[in-house]
Amino acid sequence: MRLKFPKLIPREERFFDMFTELAGLAVEAATELTKLVNDIENASRLARTIKDIEHRADDITHGIIDNLNRSFVTPIERGDIHAMACALDEVIDYIEVAGHKISLYELDGVRQEVVVIAELILASTKTVEKAVRSLRRFPDVKPHLLEINRLEEEADHICRNALANLLNNETDAVTIIKWKEIIEILEGATDRCEDVANIVDGVIVKNA
């Protein structure tokens, strides 16, 4: 019976590779988002690039779930694999929606705080990628998780102030409505990165 394992385990290890691939796409999407907020003229084109990345992420997510359904042995709990794939997919979804909204809504330039938040999202996705890459070696993961939490808190702080600034100083109500929605979606993207960190944290605890 034990002879089976050398064959099974490598196959199941693929989950880690697929997570890393998904996290890599999150970094790609966030990179395009930072380009987009700095180059609003080309927002439509860049939003389409992010949409393509999101489609590739969807395929990988479905691939992970298909693999999960066919696997007898999994390296971490099935529920955690499912949750991790969905959470990584959600990070990319939020980035896609934000980019698409910025391209769809007719806006005069980009608010400075939005550029800052986009950079925090990029930093957060890069740290998520590092955390996912080091999932096999627990002691290396923890500092990345702390950094994701720190970035989420920073983004939360900046978003709250950006909204207050928008609501207290912008006079055009329609402009307020547009940017308020976009800022809230961007904040959601960093919350989704934190979701990934929480799932990883749970995995570490159970396997420590």
Contacts to its own copies by CB under 8 A: 69, 100-101, 104-106, 160-161, 164, 167-168, 171, 173-174, 176-178, 180, 205, 208
Which two tokens mark 25? 């796409």
User: Cβ of residue 161: shortest distance to its own copies, in angstroms?
Assistant: 8
With 0-12 / 13-18 / 19 or more C-beta atoms within 10 angstroms meaning exposed / middle / buried, residue 6 is exposed
Nearest Cα residue to 90 out of 117, 114, 125? 125
Q: Which amino acid appears at position 98 of this protein?
A: A
Residue number, 20 or 201, with CB nearest to its own copies: 201
DSSP 105: S
CB nearer to its own copies: give 8 or 174. Answer: 174
Contact 45, 36 (CB under 8 A): no
Q: Which is nearer to its own copies, 20 or 175 (CB)?
A: 175
- Choose between 54 and 129: whose C-beta lies nearer to its own copies: 54
How many CA atoms are closer than 13 Å to the CA of 61, on its beta-carbon side? Answer: 21
Q: How far is the CB of 25 from its own copies (least distance, A)?
A: 19
Please identify, using beta-carbon distances, which residue of 105 and 138 lies nearer to its own copies.
Answer: 105
At position 86, the amino acid (one-letter code) is C
Shortest CB 17 distance to its own copies, Å: 22
Shortest gap between Cβ of 160 and its own copies (angstroms)? 7
Q: Residue 2 CB, nearest distance to its own copies (Å)? A: 26
Check: CB of residue 43 under 8 Å from CB of residue 99. Answer: yes
Say if residues 20 and 9 touch (Cβ distance below 8 Å).
Answer: no
